Structure 1
């Protein structure tokens, strides 16, 4: 992570929800859109780095057999542990991107609101590791705020553009709003399994 760890530690001082994931309509609506843009109902393994306090993670946990969550900040990790305590198939780890990338393969990687905290060089390493960690039918979802964030080395549009340029995957979903962009890339050109049945 290119932004200093103290940046996040200060955010969590006396606040267990610094981005108001639980209370802001903007965040709830965005989370619902993320989930709706996932083309598959179920995933074998999901990786979510920068999980923060685990609000999105809890929804992802309901869509998979195994979920690996990471965050740099120890307070965020504790909060995510508590939020996800009811899910036995979820692992929450303290880790720094891109250095502590897991040595596993996943059929979904979710990069939500994280890329602009990394330098362009570190972000390119994340993109490379994400691509290499996907299964043969895997996909990657990324969602980033479009406006500049003070203290961050990149903007959301820069982060999303780098993904589009460097992933080398098929972009099968694109949701573009004035405040954020959400995209899903997949190894296979067809995103939705038309034979999948509801469970």
Structure 2
């Protein structure tokens, strides 16, 4: 069974940073690596479901014209909304996947540290929504903890295997460490256009 919204509401009830995203070096470094993995300097429209308190969201907002963040915890969505208040193109909403999937297309969808909270069958439904919501040059970036988490239906590696299988996109980036796996897939191969490169 996928973890309910109450689980996350309790985490945020008296702590606006329950995973210490803001203070732990591990989280700061992983966030920097996530941002460095993005091959484009700027994106038009980005979707970040499972945004938590908006720590990564704040960094993504600096790299795109429009950012939509979502979290199933009302408190988390509110915290992210406040963090993003200086960015007019950024929005944070409360919602549950896949039922509250947003309309429109995105050139980047970020799946960071939440897929293992879902049952595999439900996550496959989410992946189908992801694939249908990408622009012609769209990409998906995923990053997940690799160790078991008590109560979670999946491991991070299983979530990435499902993404690779069901997205059926080109692999663009893969970075694995002892603690986490970061991967990116896209509709286009990426890389530098050698014909346009300034010599």
**TM-score relative to the length of structure 1:** 0.95
Instruction: Give me the whole-angstrom Cα distance separating, in 2, the residues matched to 1:193 and 1:93.
Output: 37
Compute the displacement of 1:74 (Å): 0.6
Instruction: Give me the whole-angstrom Cα distance separating, in 1, the residues matched to 2:192 and 2:128.
Output: 24
Instruction: Give me the whole-angstrom Cα distance separating, in 2, the residues matched to 1:115 and 1:169.
Output: 18
Instruction: Give me the whole-angstrom Cα distance separating, in 1, the residues matched to 2:12 and 2:190.
Output: 40
Instruction: Give me the whole-angstrom Cα distance separating, in 2, the residues matched to 1:157 and 1:14.
Output: 31
Instruction: Give me the whole-angstrom Cα distance separating, in 2, the residues matched to 1:113 and 1:84.
Output: 20
Aligned to 2:183: 183
Alpha-carbon contact 2:140-2:186 (below 8 Å) kept: yes
Instruction: Give me the whole-angstrom Cα distance separating, in 1, the residues matched to 2:142 and 2:149.
Output: 17
Instruction: Give me the whole-angstrom Cα distance separating, in 2, the residues matched to 1:136 and 1:163.
Output: 18
**Structure 2 residue 177 is matched with structure 1 residue 168:** no
Compute the displacement of 1:166 (Å): 1.2
Instruction: Give me the whole-angstrom Cα distance separating, in 1, the residues matched to 2:117 and 2:82.
Output: 25
Aligned to 1:61: 61
Alpha-carbon contact 1:39-1:193 (below 8 Å) kept: no
Give per-residue Cα distances to partners, 1:35-90, cap 9 Å, x unaligned. 00000000000000000000000000000000000000011011001111101000
**TM-score relative to the length of structure 2:** 0.95
Instruction: Give me the whole-angstrom Cα distance separating, in 2, the residues matched to 1:41 and 1:49.
Output: 21
Aligned to 2:127: 127
Instruction: Give me the whole-angstrom Cα distance separating, in 1, the residues matched to 2:37 and 2:180.
Output: 14
Compute the displacement of 1:13 (Å): 1.9
Q: Would you identify which runs of 4 or more consecutive aligned residues in structure 1 move more than 3 Å?
A: 191-197
Name the SS for the 1:82 alignment partner: helix
- Over aligned residue pairs, what C-alpha RMSD do you find? 1.5
Instruction: Give me the whole-angstrom Cα distance separating, in 1, the residues matched to 2:54 and 2:192.
Output: 26
Aligned to 2:73: 73
Compute the displacement of 1:98 (Å): 1.0
